[in-house]
Structure 1
């Protein structure tokens, strides 16, 4: 189970994102637009300060388009692909806390090539779940590039609902989408919800469309949702060093598939 609002000691926006917004030095390094594999603690803090607010609001919008109430009391696995510091998993837990939805989280798999980001992500997820609930969830870290993943890297059961989080990763042209597709259809039997979010980038959004199209040929694919609608929410602005309402461009596809 996840904490209720009364139990929760850590929330993503106030306790992970906001404390790191003061850690950007001017002039700042934008970490190759957020695509760089992070190499130290300073880069990890900088990434959250620069992009954490964008992630939070895009993911909240995506999760609102999924009827997660069907997971209440059900056994769930979370797979966070190219997770960085596990932002997507943390925001999902935050969203479930906010909405009072309490699935039984059997396992969380965090996949990330940066060992420092992966370690931080593991610690953030532990904070979000709260220490007294960790005994009920297995958190597995996989320090690999997506192309090198194997079946043995995952803990999964056919009877569990699988939630796949692809936050700002499908659009990155650093791995083979066909390999990823084959890994998912061969490894994750049962009900899968696949959620892909990205900045709106005309040159790279085709990868998200292609990924969806692969599953579109599968007879068990249903409940698709697509949006490229901008979001206007408050984030930290580096130029003014203040929190301001800002335009957040996004590109999102999500769908369910029973394998």
Structure 2
């Protein structure tokens, strides 16, 4: 596999200091005249050419989404009480959301001790793992090439003593998997969980309704002395290019 990003990392052209979202897109964000093959960003990518096309076609949109989301979650993520952070990225693609989150959240990367990446595209997953191993060389990064319906509790390896941060970037809006079953597996062992999701705001092909139904279901979990839900927010917003997006965040503590 000839991946320009992995090659640059192996040749030390990309280093922990020089690797940023902007430098990544400058290196690999190329118009390969293949946008139609991305199926509006929902295709399971099978070659580096399409990874580069995605960076070119959708990278700046993803950046604008997280530029809006990060300031809204900084306070929530600051109440870790010195817990180790385990970051999970579902449908991670080439790792753009995780890269943007750690790049724009001051001090977060020093608190993360483990990252779990889940993505059906082996090509995308390999690039994502390489990017994050370069950016955060001290971390334990696990990667699973799986559809979200095939994720099991043992893949997640939830530690109830950790601050478990789960991010869903442009994935919960996509039809084809049961988001409710996935969240049941995430929460099965209890613990402290921070859930952050962002997607394009639309009323077709799954879309916003999938995020809204999941958010409402999470809020309607019966609360008692062993379960607390806080830091809740659901918002539709427009970016500086007048593209419409939706995000939610919340914190769930299960004792």
Matches within 5 A, 1:168-247: 168-187=170-189, 189-203=190-204, 204-218=207-221, 219=223, 220-232=228-240, 246-247=241-242
Instruction: Please tell me whether residue 65 in structure 1 is matched to residue 66 in structure 2.
Output: no
Partner of 1:249: 244
Structure 1 contact 13–53 (Cα < 8 Å) conserved: no
Structure 2 contact 102–108 (Cα < 8 Å) conserved: no
Structure 2 contact 231–250 (Cα < 8 Å) conserved: yes
Deviation for aligned residue 1:127: 2.2
Q: Which has the higher contact order (CA 8 A, sep 6+)?
A: 1
The 1:160–1:30 alpha-carbon spacing in structure 2 relative to 1, beyond 3 Å, is same
Matches within 5 A, 1:83-162: 83-96=92-105, 99-101=106-108, 103-129=110-136, 131=137, 134=138, 137-162=139-164
Deviation for aligned residue 1:59: 1.4
Unaligned runs of 5+ in 2: 1-14
Three-state SS of the structure 2 residue aligned to 1:10 is: coil
Q: Distance in 1 between matches of 2:67 and 2:251?
A: 18
Q: Distance in 2 between matches of 1:58 and 1:35?
A: 17
Three-state SS of the structure 2 residue aligned to 1:16 is: helix
The 1:101–1:115 alpha-carbon spacing in structure 2 relative to 1, beyond 3 Å, is closer
Q: Distance in 2 between matches of 1:228 and 1:140?
A: 32
Instruction: Please tell me whether residue 46 in structure 1 is matched to residue 53 in structure 2.
Output: yes
Unaligned runs of 5+ in 1: 1-6, 233-245
Q: Distance in 1 between matches of 2:108 and 2:142?
A: 23
Three-state SS of the structure 2 residue aligned to 1:254 is: strand
Deviation for aligned residue 1:103: 4.3
Q: Distance in 1 between matches of 2:128 and 2:134?
A: 10
Three-state SS of the structure 2 residue aligned to 1:36 is: coil
Q: Distance in 1 between matches of 2:63 and 2:110?
A: 21
Structure 2 contact 160–191 (Cα < 8 Å) conserved: yes
The 1:72–1:94 alpha-carbon spacing in structure 2 relative to 1, beyond 3 Å, is farther
Instruction: Please tell me whether residue 80 in structure 1 is matched to residue 80 in structure 2.
Output: no
Structure 2 contact 173–211 (Cα < 8 Å) conserved: yes
1:92-128 Cα offsets, whole Å, 9 max, x none, are 11112xx344542121000000000000000111122
Q: Distance in 2 between matches of 1:146 and 1:107?
A: 20
CA RMSD of aligned residues (A): 1.9
Three-state SS of the structure 1 residue aligned to 2:237 is: coil
Three-state SS of the structure 1 residue aligned to 2:196 is: strand
Deviation for aligned residue 1:191: 1.4
